[in-house]
A and B are shown apart, each in its own frame.
Chain A
């Protein structure tokens, strides 16, 4: 009946939250929050206890971890509340539980962990041996910042023992009871199978009990250094050292690997009438080597820590407590274990931590450092209303206000006099650039040229510049420091080279040229003339892109693993005859020979540059497909590109300028890595498993103060920083390397679509540079 009511209530809650637009995950979190809220208050009121708030690592489901807020009651009779400083991860056990391996029955949600150390926060009635402020080690505590536990599980840390070492108390107790069951005699050879945390603790305890020599057997040599540091006399590997293992004649073998196959190894390593202590929890069925066990008269001894409870029942003593005390005494006596748990973790990164733990087999031990939380313990308000926002540890779910200075370029640049720019090409983009130059404090438009003289004169008049009659005249002007080439693509290289040879810095509207050969020619000419060569790629200066670059550099994504760009739009037919504005009538955009291509080189290349600037790597292989040109043009309307990066990451670029109904366009840019994920368009949002300054870990978040800028504003930023770089003699943000990388990417995509196979951009550059080297 009770189950039936629960099911009905559950279904109603799901329906209600679903109607409010909650996802399954949000619904799950909200119900959990509400239930916990109720439970905590019921306990506080019914037991008349103070309510406290902290945080804890929760496995919300198999393979999912999260730091969540917790509310708990302060210590009651016989209890102690501890503010944890460190809790220790036992990688073998927790990895198995996290991955739901056999013999690891875990019900979700589940609070992992069972060993920690901290400071007594409060003691309940009847607890005589502890005072607030005492440093204590506690068995049975999860990975939490605050815990209320029975005082019988808590031991005062002996003087001279560090909290992070004492935090291994439960693991040490587990290992110690196994070593005790091995009944080691001084000078007796002992062997430990498994070089995990428990195994190495057992090895150190066996050595300190006088057993010798001590051999560690493992599946690989990964952990040999730490085992040797632990004082192992021998380190043997199964499959490599089988003869040596069979010759060990160990009086006792402590099997700490938990691998069913390890029993065969243990039997081989043991001497006649030897003891095999089963310390590791066997994962799965074991084929018992019965004949060998009988022939050698071996004893297999189960040594799960819970057997201490059975021993306590038999002796009437708290055997658990006695074993724990023995372990702490061993630490006080010089047993060192700090190096076994020296991977220090931030609890906010729990999801990333457990995922890494699931993938790695070389981790011996690790510990959560709870002092890293800004507020590990807080008072809780009894009258607080439960949050139904599915918030997890994220208290506000409000956009993050970007601190001043983030998402903005830092190079101010105030040269003695402005960079004087001459503009070649006064069409559509020429006008935008002229306005941007005029709006920039350290640049000045001083000269213009366009074959359509009226366009040049009009623009010159607007900005107080001189309209020249020819390219040569503009290039000959001593009033011009830099030339901005904003003409049809096929003229970029020719005019850029002439400008460089005239001693002018060269700025080219994107793309660098209509092909890679032209871009390379331009770069070489600028290098020979020792002038700056830069390409106007201003989308890098969108505040969202700048902030994303900062976050990626800070490690928000972890190792970059993939990206997705989708730029979908519908260009009007008039575009092909005079651009969007129609200011300069020409059909060069529809010509492959002149433009170099269609949507990719004209539009998508902006975003190719942006994402590669953000992630800091460029693809080493490109595969592309182009939509067949239409409308009498010979350039593509749509493109689909798959790329691979040197680190194994992958990317997908999709773009179209001919999507019916998409006149306003729609852009999506998504980047991800091992630890995080961000969207750059339509707005910057970030999810990171890493605990970084200014980010909320394990939550999607938006930003406040990063509004997108208009074309003129981002171009003005570009010109300001370029002028500043030229003035100070520093390399520009977008230099020849970026230009050639972008152009070779574009050319590789076009070449791939022609050859119907992947093309490496670097090979294309090599092909062109090879003749020059010869």
Chain B
């Protein structure tokens, strides 16, 4: 289990992991508050490539859900968001016009509600972010029902699938940054590698 811990300069990750295992965490999966649970892809040491491919599967499903809908947006700054943007050949961030599709990769309830509001009528909202312990409460009437939105769920990378997909987008993904115990997370990182146990290190 991995949780956020407040440290000087920001948040750190505290992890309880099986002996010899490593966890990978998308930057967008880290909640803003301390003490929160953090989802992770857990594997054996040296599983970074498999983890990246798991993230890529999410991005590919998200991009497939978007299809040809344009303008499209990707909400987030982590690995899934970057991979999805690469697959869609768009920049991260908000579109100039009301988007026809939004891939929401943060899982943040407020971001999800904001994405639904931003979407054009008949638009597609792709849910590709993680929201453990954060209830997502929406008024579906104005946000989805009356504007004909389509909300598509993408299976999470933490589901444990191993799918080998060759894709150029993967090449653009930076290496995971080590999350050191007691040290603030690198704010520039796209995703983190966690290989430490709590306290004992």
Asked whether A288 lies within 8 Å of B138 as measured between CB atoms, the reply is yes
Spot the interface stretch: A18-26, A297-305, A475-483, A554-562: A297-305
A504 to chain B, nearest CB (A): 78
Asked whether A307 lies within 8 Å of B140 as measured between CB atoms, the reply is no
Q: Is B88 an interface residue (CB 8 A)?
A: no
Asked whether B137 lies within 8 Å of A286 as measured between CB atoms, the reply is yes
Asked whether A297 lies within 8 Å of B144 as measured between CB atoms, the reply is no
Q: Name the one of A181, A260, A297, A299 contacting B140, with C-beta atoms under 8 angstroms.
A: A260
Expressed in whole angstroms, the Cα–Cα distance for A311 and B123 within the complex equals: 11
Asked whether A288 lies within 8 Å of B156 as measured between CB atoms, the reply is no
Asked whether A285 lies within 8 Å of B156 as measured between CB atoms, the reply is no
A294/B148 contact (C-beta < 8 A), A103-B139, A286-B137, A310-B122 known: no
Asked whether A288 lies within 8 Å of B155 as measured between CB atoms, the reply is no
Interface centre among B138, B142, B144, B145 (most CB of A within 10 A): B145
A576 to chain B, nearest CB (A): 72
Q: Which residues of B contact A295 (CB under 8 A)?
A: 153, 155-156, 159
Asked whether B121 lies within 8 Å of A300 as measured between CB atoms, the reply is no
Expressed in whole angstroms, the Cα–Cα distance for A380 and B141 within the complex equals: 42
Nearest-CB residue, chain B, relative to A263:
B140
Q: Is B151 an interface residue (CB 8 A)?
A: yes
Within 8 A of B (CB), among A304-325: 304, 306-307, 310-311, 314
A300/B151 contact (C-beta < 8 A), A282-B139, A290-B127, A307-B146 known: yes
Within 8 A of A (CB), among B124-175: 127-128, 131-132, 135-142, 144-156, 159
Q: Which residues of A contact B178 (CB under 8 A)?
A: none
A267-299 interface mask toward B, CB cutoff 8 Å, 1 = contact, 0 = none?
A: 000000000001001111111101101111111
Nearest-CB residue, chain A, relative to B140:
A282
Asked whether A310 lies within 8 Å of B147 as measured between CB atoms, the reply is yes
Interface centre among A284, A290, A299 (most CB of B within 10 A): A290
A296/B153 contact (C-beta < 8 A), A302-B146, A304-B145 known: yes
Asked whether A303 lies within 8 Å of B138 as measured between CB atoms, the reply is no
Expressed in whole angstroms, the Cα–Cα distance for A288 and B144 within the complex equals: 12
A275 to chain B, nearest CB (A): 9
Q: Which residues of A contact B136 (CB under 8 A)?
A: 287-288, 290
Q: Is B48 an interface residue (CB 8 A)?
A: no
Within 8 A of A (CB), among B55-112: 61, 107, 112
Question: Chain A interface residue count: which class?
Answer: 20 to 34
Expressed in whole angstroms, the Cα–Cα distance for A306 and B142 within the complex equals: 12
Asked whether A298 lies within 8 Å of B153 as measured between CB atoms, the reply is yes
Expressed in whole angstroms, the Cα–Cα distance for A288 and B104 within the complex equals: 14
Expressed in whole angstroms, the Cα–Cα distance for A402 and B152 within the complex equals: 68
Asked whether A282 lies within 8 Å of B141 as measured between CB atoms, the reply is yes
Asked whether B153 lies within 8 Å of A290 as measured between CB atoms, the reply is yes
Q: Is the contact region of chain A dominated by helix, strand, or loop, or is it mixed?
A: mixed
Asked whether A299 lies within 8 Å of B151 as measured between CB atoms, the reply is yes
Expressed in whole angstroms, the Cα–Cα distance for A512 and B147 within the complex equals: 74
Asked whether A301 lies within 8 Å of B150 as measured between CB atoms, the reply is yes
Asked whether B155 lies within 8 Å of A307 as measured between CB atoms, the reply is no
Expressed in whole angstroms, the Cα–Cα distance for A285 and B145 within the complex equals: 12
A103/B141 contact (C-beta < 8 A), A288-B136, A302-B147 known: yes
A768 to chain B, nearest CB (A): 65
A368-388 interface mask toward B, CB cutoff 8 Å, 1 = contact, 0 = none?
A: 000000000000000000000
B144 to chain A, nearest CB (A): 4
Asked whether B153 lies within 8 Å of A297 as measured between CB atoms, the reply is yes
Asked whether B141 lies within 8 Å of A297 as measured between CB atoms, the reply is no
Expressed in whole angstroms, the Cα–Cα distance for A296 and B135 within the complex equals: 18
Expressed in whole angstroms, the Cα–Cα distance for A228 and B138 within the complex equals: 34
Expressed in whole angstroms, the Cα–Cα distance for A306 and B151 within the complex equals: 18
Q: Which residues of B contact A302 (CB under 8 A)?
A: 140, 144-150
Asked whether A281 lies within 8 Å of B155 as measured between CB atoms, the reply is no
Expressed in whole angstroms, the Cα–Cα distance for A103 and B112 within the complex equals: 20
Q: Which residues of A contact B140 (CB under 8 A)?
A: 260, 263, 278, 282, 286, 300, 302
A300/B154 contact (C-beta < 8 A), A285-B138, A287-B135, A310-B122 known: no
Expressed in whole angstroms, the Cα–Cα distance for A421 and B107 within the complex equals: 96
Q: Which residues of B contact A284 (CB under 8 A)?
A: 139
A299/B152 contact (C-beta < 8 A), A284-B139, A288-B137, A311-B122 known: yes
Asked whether B145 lies within 8 Å of A281 as measured between CB atoms, the reply is yes
A129-145 interface mask toward B, CB cutoff 8 Å, 1 = contact, 0 = none?
A: 00000000000000000
B60 to chain A, nearest CB (A): 12
Q: Which residues of B contact A301 (CB under 8 A)?
A: 148-151
Expressed in whole angstroms, the Cα–Cα distance for A260 and B144 within the complex equals: 13
Asked whether A307 lies within 8 Å of B147 as measured between CB atoms, the reply is yes
Q: Which residues of A contact B155 (CB under 8 A)?
A: 294-295, 297
Expressed in whole angstroms, the Cα–Cα distance for A263 and B154 within the complex equals: 17
Expressed in whole angstroms, the Cα–Cα distance for A323 and B107 within the complex equals: 37
Q: Which residues of A contact B137 (CB under 8 A)?
A: 285-288
Nearest-CB residue, chain B, relative to A306:
B146
A91-110 interface mask toward B, CB cutoff 8 Å, 1 = contact, 0 = none?
A: 00000000000010000000
B152 to chain A, nearest CB (A): 5
Nearest-CB residue, chain A, relative to B159:
A295
Asked whether A300 lies within 8 Å of B144 as measured between CB atoms, the reply is yes
Q: Which residues of A contact B61 (CB under 8 A)?
A: 297
Nearest-CB residue, chain A, relative to B142:
A103
B75 to chain A, nearest CB (A): 15
Q: Which residues of B contact A297 (CB under 8 A)?
A: 61, 152-155
Expressed in whole angstroms, the Cα–Cα distance for A679 and B84 within the complex equals: 75
A274 to chain B, nearest CB (A): 10
Expressed in whole angstroms, the Cα–Cα distance for A285 and B140 within the complex equals: 7
Asked whether B153 lies within 8 Å of A286 as measured between CB atoms, the reply is no
A183 to chain B, nearest CB (A): 11
Asked whether B122 lies within 8 Å of A307 as measured between CB atoms, the reply is yes
Q: Name the one of A263, A285, A298, A307 contacting B148, with C-beta atoms under 8 angstroms.
A: A307
Expressed in whole angstroms, the Cα–Cα distance for A370 and B156 within the complex equals: 56
Q: Which residues of A contact B141 (CB under 8 A)?
A: 103, 281-283
A286/B156 contact (C-beta < 8 A), A302-B148, A306-B146 known: no
Expressed in whole angstroms, the Cα–Cα distance for A248 and B112 within the complex equals: 29
A244 to chain B, nearest CB (A): 24
Asked whether B147 lies within 8 Å of A304 as measured between CB atoms, the reply is yes
Asked whether B138 lies within 8 Å of A278 as measured between CB atoms, the reply is no
Asked whether B145 lies within 8 Å of A303 as measured between CB atoms, the reply is yes
A280 to chain B, nearest CB (A): 8
A319 to chain B, nearest CB (A): 11
Expressed in whole angstroms, the Cα–Cα distance for A307 and B149 within the complex equals: 9
B175 to chain A, nearest CB (A): 27
Expressed in whole angstroms, the Cα–Cα distance for A311 and B150 within the complex equals: 14
Expressed in whole angstroms, the Cα–Cα distance for A314 and B148 within the complex equals: 13
A390-428 interface mask toward B, CB cutoff 8 Å, 1 = contact, 0 = none?
A: 000000000000000000000000000000000000000
Nearest-CB residue, chain B, relative to A276:
B151
Expressed in whole angstroms, the Cα–Cα distance for A300 and B142 within the complex equals: 14
Expressed in whole angstroms, the Cα–Cα distance for A161 and B159 within the complex equals: 53
Q: Which residues of B contact A293 (CB under 8 A)?
A: 127, 151, 153
Nearest-CB residue, chain A, relative to B113:
A288
Q: Which residues of A contact B139 (CB under 8 A)?
A: 103, 282, 284-286
Expressed in whole angstroms, the Cα–Cα distance for A725 and B140 within the complex equals: 71
Asked whether A310 lies within 8 Å of B151 as measured between CB atoms, the reply is no
Expressed in whole angstroms, the Cα–Cα distance for A398 and B200 within the complex equals: 94
Q: Which residues of A contact B150 (CB under 8 A)?
A: 299-302
Expressed in whole angstroms, the Cα–Cα distance for A732 and B98 within the complex equals: 83
* 26 chain-A/chain-B pairs, Cβ below 8 angstroms: A103-B141, A181-B148, A278-B145, A282-B140, A285-B138, A286-B137, A286-B138, A286-B140, A287-B136, A290-B136, A290-B153, A291-B131, A291-B132, A294-B127, A295-B159, A299-B150, A300-B140, A300-B144, A300-B150, A300-B152, A302-B140, A302-B146, A302-B147, A302-B148, A303-B148, A307-B121
Instruction: Beyond A278-B145, A299-B150, list 20 extra A-B contacts (CB 8 Å).
Output: A282-B139, A284-B139, A285-B137, A286-B138, A287-B135, A290-B107, A290-B153, A291-B156, A293-B153, A295-B153, A295-B155, A295-B156, A297-B152, A301-B149, A302-B150, A304-B145, A306-B146, A310-B121, A310-B122, A314-B122
User: Closest 5 interchain pairs by CB?
Assistant: A307-B148, A293-B153, A310-B121, A300-B151, A294-B153
